[in-house]
Every structure is written in structure tokens, then in C-alpha cells.
A and B are shown apart, each in its own frame.
Chain A
Amino acid sequence: MRLGLLLLVLAGPAAAASPPGASSCSGCHGAPGGAVPSLAGHSAEDIAASLAAFRTGARPATVMNRIAKGFSEPESRAIADWIARGGP
């Protein structure tokens, strides 16, 4: 119990497992080799830049342009960092 309280303090009030929205990505993005590009092996910079380009429309897409608009720059950056670290 003491350990639990200690952790509660250390972890803060909202230690989410993943940044908002990030866990949804693996619904489509899986292992390499499919029609949908895999996110494995991409740097956080790459992923964040892609999300920014989808959001502005600079990079054409079928669906990622519609999805990227649901995330701010900091949110996109957090997702990119999380995925680049290995995701779930």
C-alpha cells in the first residue's frame, strides 16, 4: 500500500499509457509489406513531419488528411514520439 501511494505521487494524476489518439493508429498500420505503410522504423521527426503535411494538405492522402486534422501540432508530436519509441 505504501508502495502504491509512493507510485501515485511519482506517476502524477494522469499517467496515460499512450498520448491521446496514439493507440488507434495500429488499427490500420501494421507489419511492413501491406498496402497501408508500416510505421515501424520511422523516426519521430519523420512521423511528426508527415502528420503536419497531412494536416495542412501539403501531402496528398486518401484518409490520413482527414485524420491528421483531428490533432494539434503538440498532440501529433507526442504521438510521433510514442510510435518511434516502439508504441504499445
Chain B
Amino acid sequence: MTEIGRRAVLAGLAAAALPRPAVAQGARGRVVVVGGGFGGATAARVLHRAGLAVTLVEPVETYYACPFSNEVIAGLRPMSAQALGYEGLRAAGVTLTRTSAEAIDGAARQVRLSDGTTLDYDRLILSPGIALRFDALPGYDEAAAEAMPHAWKAGAQTELLARQLAAMPEGGTVVLSVPGNPYRCPPGPYERASLIAYHLKTRKPRAKLIVLDAKDTFSKQRLFEQAWRALYPDHLEYVPLAAGGQVASVDAGAMSVATDFATHKADVACIIPPQRAAPIAAAAAVADRSGWCPIDPVTFESRLVPRIHVIGDAAIAGAMPKSAFAANAQGKVCADAVIDLLAGRAPAAPKLINTCYSLVAPGYGISVAGVYHPANGVLADIEGAGGTSPVDAPDTVRRQEAAYAEDWYRTITAAVFG
């Protein structure tokens, strides 16, 4: 049957009350979404628009976005630009509970909330984000993070690192520790290094940044290294794993960061520790021994617990990076799959796109993009597509990509939270 023919038939079946009858007709059931970030808020919106009963569980009233938070750290952007509220979702009619999910019973299909109430579901979408592993790096626990911020969840930690950097004495040393894969926002640490170096170059020219990395290769590496050579030769020292860059321990009291080869005394230390899916994933038994959540690449349904879908940074999404763009794209695809499943239809194999911009300086943007599809049970890169900005691009392209980055943030935050 043609699309128009099918739509006409469906319209004739008294589905007129639903906003998207062609999609939602036949789909019925309760959906709970846990986590109101870029993934969860997107999924909740799509499900609501399709006419399904959806409840979004999110304890905070203000969400602080990670994308562009490196600019806040470098003093280039106010924290208020990262603050997003849920008024837009409420105005759109999405039901929000301002509580957190404490436990999930996959057999009973029930979420227990911190206020003691429970929510039954037919399908559950988890978009819980990450937890910092405070057991993974000797000396780095939650108390140490107050002296040596990770700033890897935007909010108070972002402002703390920004304040420390602004208050650092002339000629000081900043140490930035980067974890091994996988972690939230693969190019993020290198954008942070770039913008901290920019801050030092322009405001504290005698100061220096040492980047200690637990790996030898990273996202957009040639582009970052090219920019560092050109812009920050006197301010940024990069130490890869092969040169002894892996941090073995930290001492927050002494403000020192130790590798197997050297101990660096820091005036400001940003320690980005290893990560895993947020605790509710383990509580729901959807995280595996890696700490992350294996999923079906068509529906994002957990490989471990049926009827629970996992999207965003917590999911093992194959070649897709842990990014806000990816979470948003997954939120839409997963919500559509849930609609199909609740209607008794088999979801079609999706394709997903990711584009991540990084700023190496104001007005100097670089990007990496990818297109993904399910292959051999995982989300795989489509060969021949995607890749990074050209290494030999002129300044006009760098300026254009910086402008696109800004515009992407405006568009995606309006679409998800507006």
C-alpha cells in the first residue's frame, strides 16, 4: 500500500484525535523515561507527540549542558548559557516527576521513585548518563574532586574549575588528566586543553598546561595537534601514554599528580577519571561487567533485561560516540522503535548521524561526523561516510565550523528543552 493510501485508511479509523495518527495508531501502553538530558528529554518529547502516555523522571529543575561548558571553564562564556529548564517540556504537555529513580524491577515492569511511589511501565527508556568512578584512580574520590575538579558533569564542578583557573597565579601550572576509552565526549578533553591553553596564552602568558593522557590516539588528533603547534607551542605540553602520560595516582592535599615516571605539582588540576553508566543502570541490571549497557542496535532495547531501552552515554552504542548529538539522535530512533513495538510492529533498521564540533580557540572550530547502522549486532560506522574536518582547511572553514558549533547548540537545546 502507498504511504498516502495507508495514511488515508488510518485516518478513516478514527485516529484523528492523535497528533501523528500514522505513527501512534495502534501504539498503546505506558512509557517511563528516566533521565532528562539530551537523550531522555528528546525521547519523552517524541513519545508524547505521538500521543503516548509518557512520564519523564528527572530530579533536577535546571539541567546544565556539557557541550560548550569548556568555554565556561576558560572564561569565554557565562554559566547561565548552559542552564536549561524543563518549562518547555511541561508546556508541551510532557508529564515530569521531579524525583529520581531509586530501583527498577524489570520482571514487574516497575520503577520505584525516591519519594516512595512507583511507576508501572510497558516500556522503559533509561537515559541516565554517566557516573564518575571514584574507585578507579588512587587518591581520587569525591572529596578530592573538590580540590581537583573533574568538571565532567556540567554544573558546580564547571564553575569550580573556572574559578580556580581565573584565580591561578601568574606562571602557574595546570595539569589535565585524560582517561582511557570509553568515556563521555571523546574529543572533550582535547577541546578543554585547547581552551585552557587559550586562556593561559591570553591572560597568564607565563603559565603552562600539561596534558597527561592514558592513551596514544584520540578523536580529531591530527587537527588538535596541528592547532596546538600553531597556537599554543609555549603553553600546552601533551604527554601521551607512550611517553608516560597515564596518571597512576593523585594527592589532592599536596596538589600533585603522579605517573609511573614523574610527579607533577599543580596549581590547578583537572582530573577526568574513568567512568561508567549512572548507578540506576546497575540497579536495573542492564549494565554489564564493563559498567556500560549492551543494547540491540535497532531498538536500543537492553541485551540483559527485556522492555528496558538504554540510550545516550550509558549505552554501548558501538561506533557512536558518547555525545549530546548522539543521545538526541538515539532518543528519536529509540522512541520511534518503542512506538512501533507498542503497536505490534517490528521496527525497521535505523540509520543515525553524529556530528561533534570542538573549539580549539574562539572562531576556530573542527568537527568529526559519522553515519551509523546496525551491522553484526552493533551500531557500526558506514564506511566511506563521516570523518573529520580536513587538516589543510583555510581559516574561513575553521571560522565557519565555529559558527556552526554555536548554531548547533542553539538548535538542539531549543529542540530538546525549548
User: Contact at B355–A75, with CB atoms within 8 Å?
Assistant: no
Q: Residues 325-342 of chain B: 1 if any A CB is under 8 Å from the residue's CB, otherwise 0? A: 100110011001001100
B18 within 8 A of A: no
Cβ-closest chain B residue relative to A26: B415
For the complex, give the distance between the alpha carbons of A39 and B348 in Å: 25
For the complex, give the distance between the alpha carbons of A66 and B412 in Å: 20
5 closest A-B pairs by beta carbon, nearest first, are: A70-B371, A70-B385, A30-B411, A21-B351, A24-B353
B352 within 8 A of A: yes
A-B contact count (CB 8 A): 153
For the complex, give the distance between the alpha carbons of A85 and B367 in Å: 30
User: Contact at B345–A11, with CB atoms within 8 Å?
Assistant: yes
For the complex, give the distance between the alpha carbons of A83 and B367 in Å: 25
A63 within 8 A of B: yes
State how many angstroms separate the Cβ of B79 from the closest Cβ of chain A: 23
State how many angstroms separate the Cβ of A52 from the closest Cβ of chain B: 14
**Given A21-B350, A67-B369, 6 extra CB contacts under 8 A:** A13-B346, A14-B348, A15-B345, A20-B373, A27-B411, A69-B386
User: Contact at A23–B329, with CB atoms within 8 Å?
Assistant: yes
Of the listed stretches B6-14, B144-152, B187-195, B218-226, name the one at the interface; the rest are far from the partner chain.
Answer: B6-14
User: Contact at B347–A70, with CB atoms within 8 Å?
Assistant: no
Residue ranges of B at the interface with A (Cβ–Cβ < 8 Å): 1, 6, 9-10, 13, 20, 22-23, 25-26, 46, 49-50, 325, 328-329, 332-333, 336, 339-340, 343-355, 367, 369-371, 373, 382, 384-387, 389, 397, 400-401, 403-404, 406-408, 410-412, 414-415
State how many angstroms separate the Cβ of A20 from the closest Cβ of chain B: 4
User: Contact at B329–A15, with CB atoms within 8 Å?
Assistant: no
User: Contact at B411–A21, with CB atoms within 8 Å?
Assistant: no
Q: Residues 41-83 of chain A: 1 if any B CB is under 8 Å from the residue's CB, otherwise 0? A: 0000000000000000000001100111111000100000000
User: Contact at B404–A23, with CB atoms within 8 Å?
Assistant: no
For the complex, give the distance between the alpha carbons of A69 and B343 in Å: 33
Known A-B contacts A16-B340, A69-B384; the reply to A31 vs B371 at CB < 8 A is: no
Residues of A within 8 A of B408 (CB): 27-28, 36
User: Contact at A34–B386, with CB atoms within 8 Å?
Assistant: no
**Most chain B beta-carbon neighbours within 10 Å: one of A11, A17, A31:** A17
Residues of A within 8 A of B22 (CB): 15
State how many angstroms separate the Cβ of B48 from the closest Cβ of chain A: 12
State how many angstroms separate the Cβ of B29 from the closest Cβ of chain A: 11
For the complex, give the distance between the alpha carbons of A70 and B351 in Å: 9
Contacting B410 at CB < 8 Å: which of A15, A30, A70? A30
Give chain A's interface residue range (CB within 8 Å of chain B). 35 or more
User: Contact at A35–B407, with CB atoms within 8 Å?
Assistant: yes
Known A-B contacts A16-B336, A24-B329; the reply to A34 vs B411 at CB < 8 A is: yes
Cβ-closest chain B residue relative to A3: B13
For the complex, give the distance between the alpha carbons of A10 and B11 in Å: 12
Known A-B contacts A25-B353, A30-B415; the reply to A7 vs B387 at CB < 8 A is: no
User: Contact at A17–B414, with CB atoms within 8 Å?
Assistant: no
User: Contact at A16–B348, with CB atoms within 8 Å?
Assistant: yes
Residues of A within 8 A of B329 (CB): 23-24, 27
- 7 A-B residue pairs with Cβ-Cβ distance under 8 Å, sorted by A, are A11-B10, A14-B340, A24-B353, A29-B411, A35-B400, A35-B403, A35-B407
Contacting B355 at CB < 8 Å: which of A14, A20, A28? A28
For the complex, give the distance between the alpha carbons of A37 and B403 in Å: 12
Residues of B within 8 A of A15 (CB): 6, 22, 340, 345, 348
User: Contact at A14–B414, with CB atoms within 8 Å?
Assistant: no
User: Contact at A4–B397, with CB atoms within 8 Å?
Assistant: no
User: Contact at B13–A66, with CB atoms within 8 Å?
Assistant: no
User: Contact at A34–B410, with CB atoms within 8 Å?
Assistant: yes
